[in-house]
């Protein structure tokens, strides 16, 4: 299982901020299986924001440890329609994330 932790991202930027984060796209190739998910905050009727925190995705047993079986791409979508790629896209994730727990921070998508 891969766990994506989005709880540290700044989701509640002002609505007029065109560079604000609006959603995250996850594309996961698990051997022959392809999974594509979008993660975004939701607004309740009372205007409170429910932000995504941890998103688990089940993998085929043993594939995360096997070289080349799991390929991951993450893209951050902003209000001005930019699609910012994550720096680790296409890399072997076992070394930087051996426990399959991926934590995302704002510097993963904010480009200077």
- Is 71 a member of any domain? yes
pLDDT of residue 106: 94
The count of other CB atoms within 10 Å of the CB of residue 73 is 15
Collapsing DSSP to helix, strand or coil, 2 comes out as strand
Q: How far apart are the first and last CA of the chain?
A: 33
What is the tens place of the pLDDT at every residue in 3-27? 999 999 999 898 899 999 999 999 9
- Is 49 a member of any domain? no
Give me the number of domains the chain comprises. Answer: 1
| pTM (global) more than 0.85 | yes
- Is 53 a member of any domain? no
- Is 99 a member of any domain? yes
Collapsing DSSP to helix, strand or coil, 108 comes out as helix
- Is 112 a member of any domain? no
- Is 89 a member of any domain? yes
What is the tens place of the pLDDT at every residue in 42-52? 988 998 889 88
Residue 12's domain comprises: 2-44+60-107
Beta strands in the chain (DSSP E): 2-5, 21-30, 33-39, 42-43, 49-50, 54-57, 70-78, 83-85, 101-103
């Amino acid at each position: 299982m891969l766990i994506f932790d989005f709880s540290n991202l700044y989701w509640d930027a002002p609505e007029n901020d065109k560079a604000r984060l609006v959603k995250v796209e996850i594309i996961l190739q698990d051997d022959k299986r392809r999974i594509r998910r979008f993660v975004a905050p939701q607004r309740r009727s009372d205007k409170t924001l429910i932000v995504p925190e941890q998103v688990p995705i089940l993998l085929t047993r043993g594939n995360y440890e096997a070289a080349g079986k799991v390929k991951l791409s993450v893209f951050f979508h902003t209000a001005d329609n930019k699609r910012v790629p994550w720096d680790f896209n296409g890399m072997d994730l076992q070394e930087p994330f051996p426990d399959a727990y991926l934590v995302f921070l704002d510097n993963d998508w904010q480009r200077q």
